[in-house]
Amino acid sequence: MDRNTVTGLVLIFIITIAWAMYTMPSEEDLERQRAEQALQDSIAAAQADENRSISENDPQSEDPGNRDLPPPLPDDNEEQPRTALGVFGEAGISDTVRTIVRTPQYEVELTNIGAGPAKFTLYDHQTWDQQNMQIIRDTTRSAYSLGFLSEQNYNIETRNLRFEPLFDSDGVTLEEGESEQFSYQLQLDEDSRIVYTYTFYADTYQYDLDIRFDNMMEYISDSNVDLLWASALNLSERDREQDVLNAAAYVYAGGELEKFQRTETGTDEQIINGTIDWVSTRTRFFGQYIKPTANSNAAIIRSEVLGAPEDPDVIHLYQSGITSNISTDNVLSYEFFVGPLRYYDLREFDEHAYDVVEIGYALIRWFADPIVRYLVIPFFGIGSTIINNYGLLIILFGFIVKLILFPLTQKSFKSMAAMKELQPQMQEIKEKYSDDPQKQQKETIALYKKAGVNPLGGCLPMLLQFPILITLFFFFQNSMIIRQQPFLWASDLSAPDYIINLPFSIPFLGDQIAGFVLLMTAAMFVQTKVSGGMGGMGGGAPSSGGPNMKAFTYVLPFILLFVFNNFAAGLSLYYLVYNVLSVAQQAIIKKQVDAPDEAAGKSKKSVKGKKKRK
């Protein structure tokens, strides 16, 4: 062994020993680790007690529809030991206390771990597999967390602390018109404490929270505090992909709604400064809102995507919160909504709360909003009191829409039929002035004027129909109205009505085919045949675009089979009705258009006969 080798081995030995001594935990670190483990054991014991209690009192607690749910969104302070939170870690009590509040519409389970709702179960709504609709995913602690910086420079999240209940009841049932208050406190010394007071109402999905800070400014470093909805929302629909696609967070401020939806793997946090009206997180049909009554100065949106975006099991997690300044009276007040995204419930909470439901592109929202709010929703609301079948209501609604649009369709059909009659003369002009485009255009315009035909007469009426069709497309795809409403073979009009299972998967189509989509496609083929090649959901007239355009109109129904196959059955049913009525409508209009031509033909024959007799 030469000298260089010996030197190298000695250096390696010295570096190894030095590194081991450097990384060896100190007594302070060991104490912190022991405290962390104690906290984890405490939380695990509390959760075990909760699960044991639930399994003893609720035989349906093992929800098979929720077994594959992802773990709750991690908390910033979840692993911080109580001793590492300074005076806040020493505050509170050691026991876990659960309290049940029942109303005619929901049941909420309050916990003193964070002083807030750990479960929110809706009575009138179920998941796709008929389990109770429990909105909150993490049931180990409060869904709400008050965050702030302590005077000792600790980041405090109150959902990691155990508050003391200021009431004795372990549950209450509210009857119609009743309300009840529940208060919790986190006491730091004889005069300093944080008090949460919830007020629940029997007749609404709304409830209130007042947070009072008694002599707390010596313990809080900054007067700005964050109230955050920290739990993810449970998914509820069989079509998980659609549910995930609709998951998002929202901020409404200054008359504008801003949507936050992460599409790439990773995490993100955004701060929106200014006076905030409300924040929200949602899935496809359910959501929660936080509305500050005063003193707001920012909104917090946190989003996380776990897994590849194209993976059907990808997880989207959203948190939303409000930053507020502790007022001069040291009280912050909030209004909450947790429940289904139904128009009348949301309108009662806030005039713009329903804006989170997609009813059309932003460009036509000014048009779609009044159509949906003042015509479509009232029709189904009033209609459901007379006809207790939403499939029949959709059929009736399609008939009414077609009746309203009949004048536009009739005008479009007649105009395009007139254009078709001018095709031979237009072709002559094109051939005659093939070398002079300006002369060709001038003669064509003169032909239009002479025949009294507007070249845009066939297009404009059709274009006026598109905003309505697009609005209804989004409405039936996203509306809570038809959720879990059965019709014929469809058990849920808000989900695809698959009736054919394929032994293989087709790109963009899948391995199943929906029933109403098949019928809609067949109706479109018939409509295309009747109208001479125009076909489609717009309901039009003969095509004058040549053989290529005519071939496309016959391919269009087949394309829409792929597009609509995985959409809501209610949407396909509506367009099925619309297209069947379009076939009848076009047959009527075609007869009206052909009648004058037939009369003119008979008149010419009569004149010729008279000349011959002479």
User: What is the mean pLDDT of the segment spanning 19-44?
Assistant: 52
Buried b (16+ CB within 10 A) or exposed e, 143-166: bbbbbbebeeebebbbbbbbbbbe
Residue 305 pLDDT > 90: no
Predicted confidence (pLDDT) per residue in 519-571, tens digit: 988 888 887 777 654 444 444 444 444 555 566 666 777 888 888 888 889 98
Quick one: pLDDT at residue 359? 84
Angle at 43 (CA atoms; ends 39, 44), nearest 5 degrees: 115
Predicted confidence (pLDDT) per residue in 392-450, tens digit: 999 999 888 888 877 777 777 777 777 777 778 878 877 777 777 787 778 777 777 77
H/E element, 142: none
From 8-12, 153-157, 246-250, 340-344, the region with the lowest mean pLDDT? 8-12
Quick one: pLDDT at residue 595? 59
Quick one: pLDDT at residue 547? 53
Is residue 498 classed as helix, strand or coil in its secondary structure? Answer: strand
Residue 145 pLDDT > 70: yes
Residue 71 pLDDT > 60: no
DSSP letter at 174?
Answer: P
Distances (CA, A) of 348 to 175, 210, 478: 20, 20, 20
DSSP letter at 220?
Answer: B
User: What is the mean pLDDT of the segment spanning 365-388?
Assistant: 89
Of 325, 321, 253, 254, the closest CA to residue 289 belongs to 321
Confidence of residue 82 (pLDDT cuts 50, 70, 90): low
Quick one: pLDDT at residue 553? 66
Quick one: pLDDT at residue 129? 87
Confidence of residue 115 (pLDDT cuts 50, 70, 90): very high
Quick one: pLDDT at residue 47? 54
From 205-214, 348-357, 361-370, the region with the lowest mean pLDDT? 361-370
Quick one: pLDDT at residue 244? 85
Quick one: pLDDT at residue 1? 47
Confirm if 569 and 496 have CB atoms less than 8 A apart.
Answer: yes
Of residues 10 and 572, the one with the higher pLDDT is 572
Of residues 499 and 459, the one with the higher pLDDT is 499
Confidence of residue 74 (pLDDT cuts 50, 70, 90): very low
Of residues 267 and 365, the one with the higher pLDDT is 267
H/E element, 480: none
Q: From CA 67, how far away is CA 319, in angstroms rounded? A: 22
User: What is the mean pLDDT of the segment spanning 28-43?
Assistant: 52
Quick one: pLDDT at residue 386? 92
Average pLDDT over the chain reads: 79
Residue 185 pLDDT > 50: yes
CA dihedral 580, 586, 587, 591 (to 10 degrees): 170
The domains of the chain are located at: 39-357, 370-602
Of 170, 120, 173, the closest CA to residue 143 belongs to 120
Confidence of residue 42 (pLDDT cuts 50, 70, 90): low
Quick one: pLDDT at residue 529? 74
Q: From CA 176, how far away is CA 325, in angstroms rounded? A: 36
Confidence of residue 218 (pLDDT cuts 50, 70, 90): confident
Q: Following DSSP, what letter does each residue of 74-139 receive, concatenated?
A: PPTTTT--GGGGTHHHH-S-S---EEEEE-SSEEEEEETBTTEEEEEEEEEEE-TTS-EEE-BS--
Residue 76 pLDDT > 70: no
- Top mean pLDDT of 5-14, 56-65, 221-230, 238-247 is at 221-230
Assigned CATH topology for domain 39-357: Beta-galactosidase; Chain A, domain 5 (2.70.98)
The pairs formed by 79-82 with CB atoms below 8 angstroms and a separation of 24 or more are 79/36, 79/39, 79/40, 80/36, 80/39, 80/160, 81/32, 81/35, 81/36, 81/38, 81/39, 82/35, 82/39, 82/161
Q: What's the Rg (C-alpha) of the chain?
A: 33
DSSP letter at 150?
Answer: B
With a CB cutoff of 8 Å and minimum separation 6, the contacts of 434 are: 440
Q: From CA 518, how far away is CA 535, in angstroms rounded? A: 16
Residue 56 pLDDT > 50: no
User: What is the mean pLDDT of the segment spanning 159-171?
Assistant: 91
Of all residues in the chain, the percent with pLDDT exceeding 70 is 75
Quick one: pLDDT at residue 61? 41
Residue 201 pLDDT > 80: yes
Predicted confidence (pLDDT) per residue in 325-353, tens digit: 987 788 999 999 999 999 999 999 999 99
Q: From CA 399, how far away is CA 92, in angstroms rounded? A: 63
Predicted confidence (pLDDT) per residue in 252-281, tens digit: 998 899 999 988 888 999 999 999 999 999
Quick one: pLDDT at residue 612? 53
From 238-242, 285-289, 500-504, the region with the lowest mean pLDDT? 238-242
User: What is the mean pLDDT of the segment spanning 24-48?
Assistant: 52
